[in-house]
């Protein structure tokens, strides 16, 4: 299994506050700064010369029929926006955790090792299993092992299910799980985007980075809304695709609170799979909601060379970082 996401190790002591969102001018004053140079972009377009911090490419479909997944729960400092670090709770030291990919009928052989300071657990949305047996708390220094067989294809969320779940998700404990149908989908350029939120406050301990603001979480007021853990990283580093080629996007919404109204500016989705691939595909879709705790698979082709933003069309959320760019050449 090829990991899709690598979060750069950090030695940064973040003294930073949130990157200021685009400011609207006071009434009757002219704009003094140019907005993003792509319509609907909501963030300046960077360069494809360097890759984004988190590789968005989907891992290859599984070849083995037993998928061994061993995750260690670790506390780790991660980057959530340029110059903003966050003291996260993670699977494997990264946010989101590694993408898991299996095919219907495979056996997922899963081990969770808790290297952190409090109980954690694992909830696979693609599994049909008794939570009271499998999704139980694992104490610090302990581990759990269980197996399950994915029977429904689609794009799924996995997350820590330890109470309060909102806290464990907001602190970074989630990832995407792709279950391929027994008969493969047509070949395509495949990417994975996990949308999620960060609710931040500066810790009193200056050695610490940003950490969770529980009141902001309960008030549904995130500071950052991100794809794959970092605000506007794919606007800073657009994703190269080919003109006219089939693009398949696995979009999973970890939340913990905000629905993703997923949209690619300048494109229409030829097919959108809502779980249960391929029985329930919508055709000719401009925007589709990815529910919190859900995943959709989007297919499209970009008609001509150019830069195509992808966003949640809830534009306050795009302004807070849930925006990227597809660069078609």
Smallest separation, CB 115 to Cu ion (Å): 12
Smallest separation, CB 156 to Cu ion (Å): 18
Q: Please name the residue that has the structure tokens 């807070």.
A: 320
- The answer to whether the CB of 29 falls within 8 A of the CB of 69 is no
Spell out, one character per residue from 149 to 168, where the chain touches Cu ion: x when CB under 5 A holds, - when not. -----------x-x-----x
Smallest separation, CB 68 to Cu ion (Å): 22
Of 90-129, binders to Cu ion (CB under 5 A) are: 120
What are the distances in angstroms from CA 31 to CA 28, 46, 73, 103? 9, 22, 47, 52
Name which of 140 and 291 has its Cβ closer to Cu ion.
140
Residue 115: φ, ψ to 5°: -100, 10
Site for Cu ion contains 263 (CB under 5 A): no
Q: Which of 173, 176, 272, 285 binds Cu ion (CB under 5 A)?
A: 173
Q: How many CB atoms lie within 10 A of CB 158?
A: 27
Smallest separation, CB 137 to Cu ion (Å): 9
Name which of 120 and 271 has its Cβ closer to Cu ion.
120
What are the distances in angstroms from CA 187 to CA 2, 60, 153, 157? 18, 11, 16, 23
Site for Cu ion contains 285 (CB under 5 A): no
Would you give the end-to-end CA distance of the chain in angstroms?
A: 29
Site for Cu ion contains 271 (CB under 5 A): no
Please work out the total of residues on this chain that contact Cu ion, with binding judged by CB under 5 A: 5
Q: If phi over 0 gives left and psi between -120 and 50 gives alpha, with beta otherwise, what is residue 49?
A: alpha
Contact residues for Cu ion, defined by CB under 5 A? 120, 160, 162, 168, 173
């Amino acid at each position: 299994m090829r990991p899709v996401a690598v979060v750069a190790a950090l030695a940064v002591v973040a003294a930073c506050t949130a990157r200021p969102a685009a400011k609207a001018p006071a009434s009757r004053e002219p704009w003094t700064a140019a907005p993003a140079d792509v319509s609907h972009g909501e963030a300046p377009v960077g360069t494809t010369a360097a890759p984004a911090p988190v590789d968005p490419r989907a891992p290859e479909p599984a070849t083995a029929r037993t998928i061994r997944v061993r995750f260690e729960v670790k506390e780790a400092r991660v980057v959530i926006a340029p110059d903003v670090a966050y003291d996260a709770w993670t699977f494997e030291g990264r946010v989101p955790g590694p993408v898991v990919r299996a095919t219907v009928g495979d056996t997922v052989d899963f081990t969770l090792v808790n290297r952190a300071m409090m109980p954690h657990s694992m909830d696979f949305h693609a599994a049909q299993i008794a939570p009271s047996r499998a999704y139980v708390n694992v104490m610090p220094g302990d581990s759990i092992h269980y197996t399950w067989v994915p029977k429904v294809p689609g794009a799924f969320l996995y997350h820590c299910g330890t109470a309060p779940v909102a806290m464990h998700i907001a602190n970074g404990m989630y990832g995407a799980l792709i279950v391929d149908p027994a008969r493969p989908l047509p070949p395509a350029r495949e990417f994975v985007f996990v949308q999620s939120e960060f609710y931040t406050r500066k810790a009193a301990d200056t050695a610490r980075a940003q950490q969770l603001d529980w009141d902001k979480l309960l008030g549904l007021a995130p500071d950052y809304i991100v794809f794959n853990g970092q605000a506007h990283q794919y606007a800073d580093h657009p994703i190269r695709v080919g003109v006219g080629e089939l693009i398949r996007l696995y979009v999973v919404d970890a939340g913990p609170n905000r629905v993703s109204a997923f949209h690619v500016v300048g494109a229409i989705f030829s097919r959108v799979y809502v779980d249960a691939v391929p029985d329930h595909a919508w055709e000719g879709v401009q925007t589709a909601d990815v529910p919190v705790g859900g995943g959709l698979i989007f297919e499209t082709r970009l008609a001509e060379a150019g830069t195509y933003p992808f966003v949640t069309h809830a534009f306050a959320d795009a302004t807070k970082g849930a925006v990227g760019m597809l660069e078609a050449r």
